Amino acid sequence: MKPMPLVAGNWKMNGLRASQAELDALNAVLTAKGAPCEVLICPPFTLVAAFAAATGDKVAIGAQDCHAKQSGAHTGDISAEMLKDAGAGYVIVGHSERRADHGESSEAVRAKAEAVLAEGLKPIVCIGETESERDAGKTLDVVLGQLAGSVPTGSTAANTVIAYEPVWAIGTGRTPTVAEVAEVHTAIRSALVARFGADGTGFRILYGGSVKPDNANELMAADNVDGALVGGASLKASDFTGIIDAYRS
């Protein structure tokens, strides 16, 4: 059975309290038209609790990172338990900006994902190759290596989401071809089935990197693409609903 698609917005370091107007607009559209897939917004930490309190039943709220420990002497960090307490349902882990800006290894990402699972929240585990890795023909090696290293043993189709985000496609307006997306997603699917058996067929594998309303239809139709992780185009409800529309028949 094909999993229920998920369209997730990653607001990154954008958004102030006034930005709740975009969440309200998104909720209004999905309440009026219905939601054809699962929809998630991951605002910065400062807005998680307010957004969770304000959202309706059509839009879930998540966070963009967490610490691997539940509490303790880690100044400036936020734990999965805190995010659960604030009302988050999902936590993005291992985004390429965290891997690059904060030197997060796949081992560190896996520890974060385990912490998310331990709270009963769902990790969205991000993987993806750089442009030079793709040019060197190493895309599948890199992506499957990150997958194996970052996804916890306790992951299941029901509790974990994978996001394939080629680093060179993030925020650049460039995307792989549909055939290239399908090739990587199909390789990820095969690796999940090899590791998790039949349950591997049910994991949602999101594509991320310059998803926009005008390319969402073709990207979401690619083999083994079960949704999108959207950065820039998730900040405005009008753009984001245009992407969600890819799942309206």
Residues identified as active-site: 95, 165
Which stretch in 37-45, 46-54, 151-159, 163-171 sits in contact with ligand PGA by CB under 6 A?
Answer: 163-171
237-244 vs 20-33: helix crossing angle, rounded to 10: 30
Residue among 5, 94, 200, 231 that touches ligand PGA (CB under 6 A): 231
Angstrom distance (rounded) from CA 65 to CA 53: 20
Residue 123 or 232: which CB sits closer to ligand PGA? 232
State yes or no: residue 64 binds ligand PGA (CB under 6 A).
no
State yes or no: residue 210 binds ligand PGA (CB under 6 A).
yes
Instruction: State both tokens at 23.
Output: 């969440």
Q: Which helix (H) or strand (E) holds 78?
A: none
State yes or no: residue 219 binds ligand PGA (CB under 6 A).
no
Residue 10 or 139: which CB sits closer to ligand PGA? 10
Residue among 40, 161, 211, 220 that touches ligand PGA (CB under 6 A): 211
Residue among 171, 177, 221, 238 that touches ligand PGA (CB under 6 A): 171
Neighbouring residues of 163: CB distance < 8 A, sequence distance ≥ 6: 8, 92, 124, 125, 126, 127, 205, 206, 207, 208, 229
CB of 83 to ligand PGA, least distance (A): 18
Residue 81 or 98: which CB sits closer to ligand PGA? 98
Three-class secondary structure of residue 114 per DSSP: helix
Residue among 170, 188, 237, 244 that touches ligand PGA (CB under 6 A): 170
Residue 196 or 225: which CB sits closer to ligand PGA? 225
Which value, in Å, is the radius of gyration of the alpha carbons in the chain?
Answer: 17
Residue among 5, 10, 82, 207 that touches ligand PGA (CB under 6 A): 10
Neighbouring residues of 121: CB distance < 8 A, sequence distance ≥ 6: 80, 83, 84, 88, 89, 90, 91
237-244 vs 213-220: helix crossing angle, rounded to 10: 20
Task: Tell me which residue has its CB nearest to ligand PGA.
Answer: 231
Angstrom distance (rounded) from CA 245 to CA 29: 11
What DSSP state is assigned to residue 92?
E
State yes or no: residue 165 binds ligand PGA (CB under 6 A).
yes
Q: Are strands 38-42 and 59-63 parallel, antiparallel or unpaired?
A: parallel
State yes or no: residue 123 binds ligand PGA (CB under 6 A).
no
Residue among 87, 166, 209, 227 that touches ligand PGA (CB under 6 A): 209
Q: Which residues bind ligand PGA (CB under 6 A)?
A: 10, 165, 170-171, 208-211, 229-233
